[in-house]
Amino acid sequence: MNSQDFTFLVEMLKKRSGHVLAADKGYLLDSRLGPIARKEGYASVDALVQTMRTRNDERLNAMVTEAMTTNETFFFRDSTPFDLFKSEVIPHMADNRRPGSKIKIWCAAASTGQEPYSLAMILRENAAKMKGVTSSILATDISDKVLQKAKAGLYSQFEVQRGLPVQLMVKYFQKSDDLWKIDPNLQQHITFRKYNLLDNFRALGQFDVVFCRNVLIYFDQETKSDILNRLAQCLAPDGYLFLGAAETVMGLTDAFTPVPGKRGLYVRKDKAIAKVA
């Protein structure tokens, strides 16, 4: 692919999704855009991109953006945040929310649903510790394709074996032909919705917990700072933010501070002293 075509793709993805396509990620173009080119009748990815440059086709632009921003996930990915959710977040919310109230959890960039379903399983397994506090999960992603899979709650044998303990697979999944179907009772507590992290968060309301893991790494510094500052505005004063293992707030925002000794866990800076005391 020539430099003009690559620059066009970089700029389009940045404008539509905030994702920055680094030069060393060019190898993804053939694997992710090749199927689109073939489906649409183009001889190559180059031909597809050249058409996009000369014709503002919203359908093609959306398909390419979705393909390039779809990221891998699996159940209980990087177990630490889920352990912290169970050991830190659940006890705090149980002690600081009235019985009968509901904690709101947002899984941003939820991909094919393994993260919100993992949280739903933890909440179900620890329901007795919640002291009458219930929960709801909003799972969002920019991609229609991954959200459709997440809503269906159908996973292959390979997918359910990646990170999912056998006892939870047996308890919360049923075999459906060659796939595994998630328990509908878990699904009813999760709302899946298409959402772009570049959009205003105000319409989503306030959350007690936000999981925004392994997505900031795809943005430039300015966009990371903007997203983190807006996340602080929609997080409850005593709420928690989870980031990925390779992500940080350092040098990006003064709104959050890490919880000492709790990798990937952050609180609003104005509540940091009370949280860690």
pLDDT for the residue 271? 62
267-277 pLDDT, tens digit per residue, is 998 764 334 32
Token digits for 116?
A: 């919100």
Average pLDDT over the chain reads: 91
Distance between CA atoms of residues 33 and 55, nearest Å: 17
Task: Name the one residue in this structure whose structure tokens are 């009772």.
Answer: 185
Where do we find the tokens 């903007």? 226
The CA-based diameter of the chain, rounded to the nearest angstrom, is 62
Among 155, 264, 165, 152, CA closest to 217: 264
Element (H, E) at 182: strand 179-182
- What sign does the dihedral 61-212-101-204 (CA atoms) show? negative
Parse the chain into domains and list their residue ranges: 3-69, 80-276
**Spatial separation of the C-alpha atoms in residues 230 and 244, rounded to whole Å:** 18
Q: What is the pLDDT of residues 27-40, one digit of tens each?
A: 778 888 988 999 99
Quick check: helix, strand or coil at residue 251? coil
Q: What residues in the chain have per-residue pLDDT under 50?
A: 272-277
Report the C-alpha gap between 52 and 276 in whole angstroms: 52
The amino acid sitting at 114 is Q
pTM for the full predicted model: 0.86
- Out of 3.40.50.150, 3.40.50.10190, 3.30.2270.10, 3.20.20.140, the CATH code matching 80-276 is 3.40.50.150
Q: Answer whether CATH 1.10.3470 is correct for domain 3-69.
A: no
Name the 3-class secondary structure at 242.
Answer: strand
Running DSSP on this structure, what letter comes out for residue 270? Answer: G
Sign of CA dihedral 30, 31, 36, 41: positive
pLDDT at 72: 76
